Amino acid sequence: MEIKSLERTNFDTIFIAFRRAFADYDIQLNHHELKNMLKRRGFTPELSFAAFEGDDIVAFTLNGTGNFNGKPMAYDTGTGTVKEYRGQGLATKIFEHSIPFLKKENIGHYLLEVLQHNTKAVSIYQKINFKTTREFNYFFWKNETFRHAIKVTPFRVQAINIDEYDNLSDFWDFYPSWQNSFESIQRAREDFICLGAFADEKLIGYCIFEPNSGDITQLAVDKAHRRKGAASQLLFEANKHNKCSTTKLINADTACSSIVDFLKAKNIEVTGKQFEMIKEI
């Protein structure tokens, strides 16, 4: 068995390994969906590594790279081990193998997200000195929730170019996670629809949405205009473009009660929770 970079590995080989490693998971990604996910998350093949048994990948870590909160950082876009090779510590070995290569590129921090109920993985990350920086909620709901017309509101919703607005962060209650950041959105700009809510001619809220996956990437409303239907109207308009049967909103900071209260009012409860964890390397 040999650990080596994925720089010269074709995507089909990576996809086969990904499908094998996650064959016993509820959610499966097809070839196109995986490629789009990795593009958005900054997948860097030359800084990603896998354990090979001959020509086959049996364990891997697909690293993304970029800037997060003003720091050069690596991000775990996907770590997996084929079922027959689990329990051998391959994920940890691959991670440790990657550190010198990341540091050589002046990357000083490594970021990942892990489901809170995956206690085994959480324990492993804690043992190699990952620290929890935030806790996230995520939500899944049926499209019917926002399919029907809502009450009349004073807001007009239309498509916008987010590059034309430099005040969007003024609406935030928390800093978006790696996969929901503006840098991630820009990597796959053509995959997103951006909607703005206007009071007269002033932008008072916005929604960034990926229709192919049903993913609400960012949703924010000016505090002075909340509880007036703007967020509901944004989701109603986004729902028209959704190509999936469900909608998801992932990585909402648990410290943000406003999004929990808003969705709870629509009978949408928290589906699950994740930890954001960072290690200095």
Query: Domains along the chain?
Result: 2-107 (3.40.630.30), 138-274 (3.40.630.30)
Label the pairing between strands 246-253 and 109-115: unpaired
* C-alpha atoms less than 13 angstroms from C-alpha of 203 in its C-beta half-sphere: 20
pLDDT digits (tens, 9 = 90+) for 256-266: 999 999 999 99
What tokens does 137 get?
A: 């909620």
pLDDT digits (tens, 9 = 90+) for 66-110: 999 999 999 999 999 999 999 999 999 999 999 999 999 999 999
Mean pLDDT of 221-245: 94
Around Cβ 249, how many Cβ atoms within 10 Å? Answer: 22
Residue-level pLDDT at 146: 85
Distance in angstroms (rounded) separating the CA atoms of residues 206 and 227: 15
pLDDT tier at 267, thresholds 50, 70, 90: very high
Residue-level pLDDT at 167: 92
3-state secondary structure of 127: helix
Q: Per-residue b/e over 208-227, b at no fewer than 16 CB within 10 Å?
A: bbbbebbbbbbbbbbeebbe
Mean pLDDT of 119-126: 92
pLDDT digits (tens, 9 = 90+) for 9-58: 999 999 999 999 998 876 788 999 999 999 999 999 999 999 999 999 99
Residue-level pLDDT at 149: 60
Residue-level pLDDT at 28: 80
pLDDT digits (tens, 9 = 90+) for 133-189: 999 999 999 988 887 766 667 899 999 999 999 999 999 999 999 999 999 999 999
Residue-level pLDDT at 166: 92
Mean pLDDT of 270-277: 97
Mean pLDDT computed over every residue of the chain:
94
